[in-house]
Amino acid sequence: MEFELTPDQELMSETVRRLVERSIKPLIDRHDPNRTLPKEIFLLIFEKLAELGLTAARLPEAAGGSGIKMLDYGIMFEQIPAAIALSLVAHEVSVARMFADCNHEQRRRFLPDLISGRTIACTGSTEPDTGSDPRGVTTRLSRKGDSLVLNGRKMWITNVSACDLMLVTCLDCRKGETGSRVVKIVVERAHSPFEAKEIDTIGLRQGMLGEAVFDDCRVSEENLIESERGGTEVLKSSWAINRPLFGLMAVGMAQRAYDIAVEYAGMRKQFGKPIAAHQLVQKNLSDIVTAITSSRLLCYYALSQVDQGKPADGAAAMAKRYAQNACQEAVWQSMNVLGAMGLSTEARVEALYRDIRMIPIPDGTNEILALIHGRELTGMAAFRGTEKSLI
Ligand SMILES: Cc1cc2nc3c(=O)[nH]c(=O)nc-3n(C[C@H](O)[C@H](O)[C@H](O)COP(=O)(O)OP(=O)(O)OC[C@H]3O[C@@H](n4cnc5c(N)ncnc54)[C@H](O)[C@@H]3O)c2cc1C
């Protein structure tokens, strides 16, 4: 067992950290912290991330991806500011899903621009009445005259306002309503325009989270995914990677909150000495670092299970749930170390506190993650009796 990063991993982490400091943060800081960044900023950043292989980390090199280990991906991902990381993971997992499920011709048409960061992708699964249980989708794909049309509404979709391609989960009603099954289709915004708008949220306000409405939206039949494997398997393996990545987003936020808190504690004096010299402030700092370290290790563990081809659903669920809870508490404690200053927008910890509140929901709420882990521990699914679950 080895707990240190290898020299290569140190280099990967440092390379992303420097890219963020030199090229990404200055772009972000120039914009309103409470408004979605313009699409051109996301594209500029995606192009830079693409140079490091981060827009297609799960794809093999032969397919234009970086072919890196998921643990290495996680180590790099942790360095990326959360609003960008959210966008990146939504884009990158959509690329991985398309690679896994699309036929040769579809891959040729869609993937090169997505991999190079010239276009942005998203996955549209959630709907107003369909959240944790993905089986309930009602968006319909049907035939109208010679063409296929989509009708329905997708909610809480990362990247939707700026996306060029959306991988949409829908009901295939081409042969009528009865027996309709869940399928996926790639909607190309340029050929199949649809209405999309941002949803205002508590945190990650520079990021993109919104809804899309399909109203007789014409889609080419060539974009329908007729996967041999079926979307479900791909979606499941993508969750085992996404969940620890979300955990590492929380780790990154808690680390930034701690960095602010420890610096402040060294400077701020009360009772004649720096507050860092008071015993209970030291306990606070110790609690924060314990939360960050344990969360990071659990996320790394889950990703390394994926790399070794071992069952990772339970580890991934455990990692995200634990990391987000522990790191949310760590950010809260960091705010406390700053006293009233922690509440000011100037200190930037309050923004991290709002941002981290976004993490428990996507790719499995805390309750659903506990049930996924419980299913692995007991061999029994709590979702619907003994029926095999989709999540
Ligand atoms: C930042 C962010 C990014 C997102 N990105 C995307 C995206 O790119 N694409 C996409 O399709 N969706 C996305 N989503 C949507 C997300 O996947 C859903 O919000 C999530 O699956 C939960 O669904 P819901 O919000 O409808 O909650 P519900 O499913 O309605 O759950 C409400 C509450 O009930 C609990 N609950 C539900 N079922 C059970 C159960 N069986 N046992 C115990 N408790 C239960 C939940 O834990 C939760 O507390 C995103 C959401 C957020 C916040």
Structural tokens at position 109: 């048409």
Q: How far, in Å, from the CA of 209 to the mean position of ligand 1? A: 13
Least confident of 166-180, 332-346, 362-376: 166-180
For residue 120, is it left (φ>0), alpha (ψ between -120 and 50) or beta?
Answer: beta
Which residue's C-alpha comes closest to atom 40 of ligand 1?
Answer: 368
Kindly tell me if the per-residue pLDDT of 139 is higher than 60: yes
199 and 186 both lie in a single domain: yes
pLDDT at 385: 47
Beta bridge partners of 36: none
pLDDT at 134: 86
From the CB of 45, is ligand 1 less than 6 Å away? no
Whichever domain contains 167, its CATH number is 2.40.110.10
Tell me the residue range of the domain where 97 lies.
7-120
pLDDT at 360: 97
- Reference 375, options 308, 316, 323, 309; nearest CA is 316
> C-alpha distances in angstroms, 172 versus 133, 147, 352?
18, 14, 41
- Of the three residues 69, 87, 120, the one that is the final residue of a domain is 120
294 and 195 both lie in a single domain: no
Q: Which of 86, 155, 156 has the most ligand 1 atoms within 8 A of CB, as the residue to mutate? A: 156
pLDDT at 280: 98
From the CB of 220, is ligand 1 less than 6 Å away? no
Query: What DSSP line would sit under 43-69, residue for residue?
Result: HHHHHHHHHTTGGGTTS-GGGTS----
Give 236's pLDDT tier (boundaries 50, 70, 90): low
Q: Name the pairing type of β-strands 209-219 and 224-225.
A: unpaired
Q: How far is 360 from 323, CA to CA, in rounded Å?
A: 10
pLDDT at 228: 59
Whichever domain contains 64, its CATH number is 1.10.540.10
Average pLDDT of the chain is 94
133 and 95 both lie in a single domain: no
- Reference 84, options 114, 131, 124, 47; nearest CA is 47
In a domain, 388, yes or no: no
In a domain, 387, yes or no: no
Kindly tell me if the per-residue pLDDT of 87 is higher than 90: yes
pLDDT tens string 200-223: 999 999 999 999 999 999 999 999
Give 237's pLDDT tier (boundaries 50, 70, 90): confident
